[in-house]
């Protein structure tokens, strides 16, 4: 009784045996690990011989490092924003002289400007993360 395997279904009836150097075998094996939709070395070689398109999924590790650094910056800015809000809350509960009030108003304006920049950064990070995240 004859086996009914996929190679025979595709009409692949001729076998070719060859030898490769270890370097070339390792190169093809590494390529196979990154190929999408190709499950065997034989299939990869057939696609190469037939000049078919080979889709390779590349993984960029620099993207992960950048995202980690940006996430750390985001956490620091969030903590700064919390501190600003706490300071603002305390300042609103305290009575000051007119001169002190002017200084406090300048500090509050600076804090509000900083908070606005932090909010801009968070919006940028959300957009950036959405574009860079893996699908």
Angle of helix 98-132 versus helix 61-92 axis, rounded to 10: 160
The answer to whether residue 121 is domain-embedded is: yes
- Render pLDDT for 71-122 as a digit per residue (tens, 0 to 9): 888 888 888 878 877 877 877 787 777 887 888 788 878 878 888 888 888 8
pLDDT of residue 1: 42
> Is 28 within 8 Å of 20 (Cβ atoms)?
yes
Number of domains in the chain: 2
The answer to whether residue 54 is domain-embedded is: no
- 71 shares its domain with 34: no
The answer to whether residue 56 is domain-embedded is: no
- 68 shares its domain with 126: yes
Structural domain of residue 43, as residue ranges?
A: 6-49
Report the predicted TM-score, pTM, of the whole model to 2 decimal places.
0.41
- 40 shares its domain with 82: no
The answer to whether residue 74 is domain-embedded is: yes
């Amino acid at each position: 009784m004859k086996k009914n395997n996929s190679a025979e279904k595709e009409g692949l009836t001729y076998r070719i045996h060859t030898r490769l150097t270890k370097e070339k075998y390792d190169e093809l094996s590494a390529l196979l690990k990154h190929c999408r939709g190709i499950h065997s070395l034989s299939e990869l070689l057939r696609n190469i011989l037939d000049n078919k398109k080979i889709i390779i999924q590349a993984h960029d590790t620099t993207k992960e490092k950048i995202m980690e650094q940006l996430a750390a910056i985001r956490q620091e800015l969030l903590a700064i924003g919390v501190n600003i809000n706490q300071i603002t809350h305390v300042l609103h509960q305290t009575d000051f002289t007119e001169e002190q009030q002017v200084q406090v108003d300048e500090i509050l304006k600076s804090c509000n400007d900083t908070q606005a920049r932090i909010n801009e950064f968070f919006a940028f990070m959300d957009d950036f993360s959405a574009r860079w995240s893996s699908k």
